[in-house]
A and B are shown apart, each in its own frame.
Chain A
Amino acid sequence: MSARAPALEAGSAVPQPYRVIARHTDTADTVTLTIEPDAVPLERFAPGQFAMLTAYGIGEVPISVSAIATPEQGRARRLVHTLRAVGAVTRALHAARPGDVIGARGPFGTTWDVASAVGHDVVIVAGGIGLAPLRPVLHAVLADRPRYGRVVVLIGGRTPADLLYREEMAKISAAGAEVAVIVDQPADGWTGQVGVVTTLIPPAHFDPDRTVAFVCGPEIMMRFTAQALIARGVPAPRVRVSLERNMRCGVGWCGHCQLGPLLVCRDGPVIDYAHSEPLISVREL
């Protein structure tokens, strides 16, 4: 399993008011919000953890942190979330503008446990919005670059217009990480690769015996990606995936996010593939 969530505060049950201080449009349906507390800041988040974000009057949804802002006295003065508008709550959060107030509870869930990859090659495989929860892993590794082996980032998207953080990924590539991008549906002028993200795995340059892989995206994509990584020789316990289930309490009380023996909000979302494989297996396509 990945690193367990730290002990929760009583305040985890009550959304704290956070004000939007910046809103960056990433794609047509995705924005990155930077928020600051109006009152009590939450505890510091770690890569892989999520907050329950409230659009007041509409509802609350789990959203991972997509960057870790520098903490002040151990607290998350700022939170950064990248979210895609898919339904009522995410649409309302997507519509939030600088100055608007939303609610935030957290930090919740297990972490990517980036430190356990020290001395290893790091392989990050992202599908669609899945790059958002993985971005803090990349930031942490690049901030401490000499302690890691090769850094490989494999990104799959629906169309070129849906790709997140394009400028940042170009910079990371220029800085020496191996970044490969593939889309399902090319647009005119796209000169990059076309196909599924799993096809990026065989030619990528990493040593499977000394690799830790971090995978996030739609569940089926994670399953096929994990299988492709294991086929290349990465041990299943060193393939980590981030699971998604509908959530309510976020703290292991309501059972809403149950997946087999696990509560994803507490035992996940980050789980190694050795443990998650039997839980997310789907019938053969």
Chain B
Amino acid sequence: MSADLTDRVSALPFFAGLAPRLLRQLCAEGRLVRYPAGKRLFGEGGDADRFWLIEDGSVALDLRVPGRGDQVIETLGAGTVVGWSWLHPPYRWSFGAATRSPVQAVVFAAAAVRGRCDTDPAFGYAMLRLFTPVITERLQATRLRLLDLYATPAPAGRS
């Protein structure tokens, strides 16, 4: 871990509120990575052994649909985290993910972070508090999209 990495991670709002001790623990399991556009980060059903904090660029979550290839479900940009399936058994990705543009990110070793969550409840609680909103926000976004708000309205009687 370098002080540089800790500075970078705390510069983005996602982990910025983390106490310095916890931030250092987290960053001990992270490293800076750069990917070209089109690099697959993980595939649906694979081991959820990592997660990423995107510093720059964009990542697409996708799902393989028979006959239609990889369908993009959502794109995630700078400042967001990619991956929370590592938090809960069976630790497998529900979707795939690939970079859409050159990406600079911090990748964290999920099993090691999970180990720290188990041994240090303060650290574990902080992680849950950070990741739970990610899960609820993505659920909210999915529900909104299910409503298909911009679709042509179905014919209905008007008073």
| Residues of chain A having any CB pair with chain B under 8 Å | 29, 84, 86-87, 127-129, 156-158, 162, 182, 184, 186, 190-196, 198-199, 202-203, 217-218, 220-221, 224, 246, 256, 285
B72 touches A184 (CB 8 A): no
A-B CB pair tally, cutoff 8 Å = 68
B150 touches A157 (CB 8 A): yes
Q: Closest chain B residue to A191 by CB distance?
A: B100
A127 to B145, CA, bound (A): 12
CB of B78 within 8 Å of the partner chain: yes
A86 to B150, CA, bound (A): 11
A87 to B157, CA, bound (A): 10
**Out of A87, A193, A220, which one reaches B144, CB within 8 Å?**
A220
A87 to B74, CA, bound (A): 31
Q: 24 A-B contacts, Cβ less than 8 Å apart?
A: A84-B152, A86-B153, A87-B153, A87-B155, A87-B158, A128-B149, A158-B150, A158-B151, A191-B100, A192-B75, A193-B58, A193-B75, A194-B74, A198-B144, A203-B78, A217-B150, A218-B149, A218-B150, A220-B147, A220-B149, A221-B144, A256-B159, A285-B143, A285-B147
**Out of A86, A87, A186, A196, which one reaches B141, CB within 8 Å?**
A196
CB of B53 within 8 Å of the partner chain: no
Q: Which residues of B sit under 8 angstroms from A196, Cβ to Cβ? A: 141, 144-145
A157 to B149, CA, bound (A): 9
Q: Which residues of B sit under 8 angstroms from A224, Cβ to Cβ? A: 140, 144
* Min CB–CB distance A145 → chain B (angstroms): 27
Q: Closest chain B residue to A186 by CB distance?
A: B72
CB of B4 within 8 Å of the partner chain: no
Taking A86-B152, A87-B155, A285-B140 as given, write out 9 further A-B residue pairs in contact, using a Cβ cutoff of 8 Å, ordered by the A residue number: A29-B152, A156-B150, A186-B72, A190-B72, A192-B75, A193-B75, A220-B144, A246-B158, A246-B159
Q: Closest chain B residue to A185 by CB distance?
A: B145
Q: How many B residues are at the interface, by size bracket?
A: 20 to 34
Ranked 8 nearest A-B pairs via Cβ: A128-B150, A158-B150, A218-B149, A193-B75, A195-B74, A196-B141, A194-B75, A285-B143
| Residues of chain B having any CB pair with chain A under 8 Å | 13, 58, 60, 71-75, 77-79, 100, 140-141, 143-145, 147-153, 155, 158-159
Q: Closest chain A residue to B152 by CB distance?
A: A86
B141 touches A198 (CB 8 A): yes
Q: Closest chain B residue to A29 by CB distance?
A: B152
Q: Which residues of A sit under 8 angstroms from B78, Cβ to Cβ? A: 203
Q: Which residues of A sit under 8 angstroms from B60, Cβ to Cβ? A: 194
- Known contacts A158-B150, A158-B151; decide if A285 and B72 are in contact (CB<8 Å): no
